[in-house]
Amino acid sequence: MNIREIAKRARVSHSTVSRVINQVDTVDPRLARRVQAVIQEVGYRPNFQARALARGRSHTVGLIVSELSGGNPFFSEIILYFERVAVEHGYEVLVSFADKETHPDPVTVCASRMQERQVEGIATLTFGMEEQLAKFPISVPMVYAGADHDLQGVRNVRINYLSGFRDAVKHLVEFGHQRIGYLSGQLGWSSMRTRFEALRKAMKLAGASFDKDLVAECDHTWDGGAQGMATLLNLPKPPTAVLCCNDVAAVGALKTLASRGLQAGKDVALIGFDDLTICRFMQPALTTIQFSPREIAGLAFRALLEEIQATKEKSNLEYKTKFVLRESTCAPRAQ
């Protein structure tokens, strides 16, 4: 069923049917009611995508994320909350996963596919992989979150990593910790480097000495966290407290502690990063630094919408991480 057939049944021109579907208020009300009755009778559903494209608008935005296959629920929540706020504003979301196993530059591949599908803007929430787009020709508005440097023509939602790390380190120092370790994640990623630098600055502000030998560079995964914690525990003088680049690595670290007969919050102080839901259900409940997918997704869409609408006065958007105290920290035990 198409609009010409609708027009024939309603005994009007197909242009009248088109105006009724597009809610043009100049159509005679009697004709509009007649057309609407036929549409309801036959169950006609307009092709909104075709209509939008005909007007030069797709009302679709792209979202590029990473790590969907690694078991980390952080990016699943990013997708959930980004889509919710997009739908509230009348947009559909095309999601693409930057899969490093299928292409050496997966973010550019995702961005290229999205532009071919005429999205109105793209949010790249990969937290480290966006550097691949530095020389990529972008024809639509684009937003990053947490990029460690500004790229020309791209909006960057700034992430204040220092606020959360500062309070976390202050907490450990007040407990009496002097040997503070860190599971850093892969420092080739800009987001991991930025977190690492925030930690170093927080240590300096707290008057704590920074020992590079207490840093274990590892994958920011369950296995990576387990292996990184094993590396730190095997040192001649292990750290008495360990901060982690994310909660997934922290959970992996908990597994290694348990395998050594040790417990976070009793033998070693442990702090994660992200504040995933799982943190509240661990034993002990995991102290962490909050990096909220809900708030970041909301800020990213707000920035993208301002770019799409070419808003003259842009909001100064920054997300501040927050320290969340639970049960996995403690004072250092006597060696």
Q: Is there a domain that residue 166 lies in?
A: yes
Does pLDDT of 56 surpass 80? no
Domain match, 170 and 110 both: no
Q: What is the CATH number of the domain that holds 30?
A: 1.10.260.40
CB-count exposure of residue 4 (10 Å: 0-12, 13-18, 19+): exposed
Domain match, 260 and 190 both: yes
How much is the pLDDT for 202?
97
* Gap between the Cα atoms of 319 and 81, Å rounded: 15
* Gap between the Cα atoms of 98 and 108, Å rounded: 9
Q: Is there a domain that residue 332 lies in?
A: no
Domain match, 217 and 202 both: yes
Domain match, 142 and 232 both: no
Q: Is there a domain that residue 53 lies in?
A: no
Domain match, 315 and 233 both: no
Does pLDDT of 129 surpass 70? yes
Q: Is there a domain that residue 55 lies in?
A: no
Does pLDDT of 234 surpass 90? yes
Domain match, 184 and 231 both: yes
Q: Is there a domain that residue 279 lies in?
A: yes
Domain match, 181 and 266 both: yes
Does pLDDT of 48 surpass 60? no
Q: Is there a domain that residue 333 lies in?
A: no
Q: What is the CATH number of the domain that holds 143?
A: 3.40.50.2300
Does pLDDT of 148 surpass 70? no
Q: Is there a domain that residue 299 lies in?
A: yes
Sign of the torsion formed by the C-alpha atoms of 173, 178, 179 and 184? positive
Q: Using an 8 Å Cβ cutoff, are 283 and 122 in contact?
A: no
Structural domain count, the chain: 3
Whole-Å CA distances, 76 to 70, 83, 334: 11, 11, 41
Does pLDDT of 47 surpass 90? no
Q: Is there a domain that residue 335 lies in?
A: no
Domain match, 297 and 287 both: no
At residue 69 the predicted structure's pLDDT band, cuts being 50, 70 and 90, is: low
Range of the domain at 29: 3-46
Closest CA to 118 of 145, 149, 139: 139
| pLDDT tens per residue, range 251-265 | 999 999 999 999 999
Domain match, 138 and 155 both: yes
Does pLDDT of 335 surpass 60? no
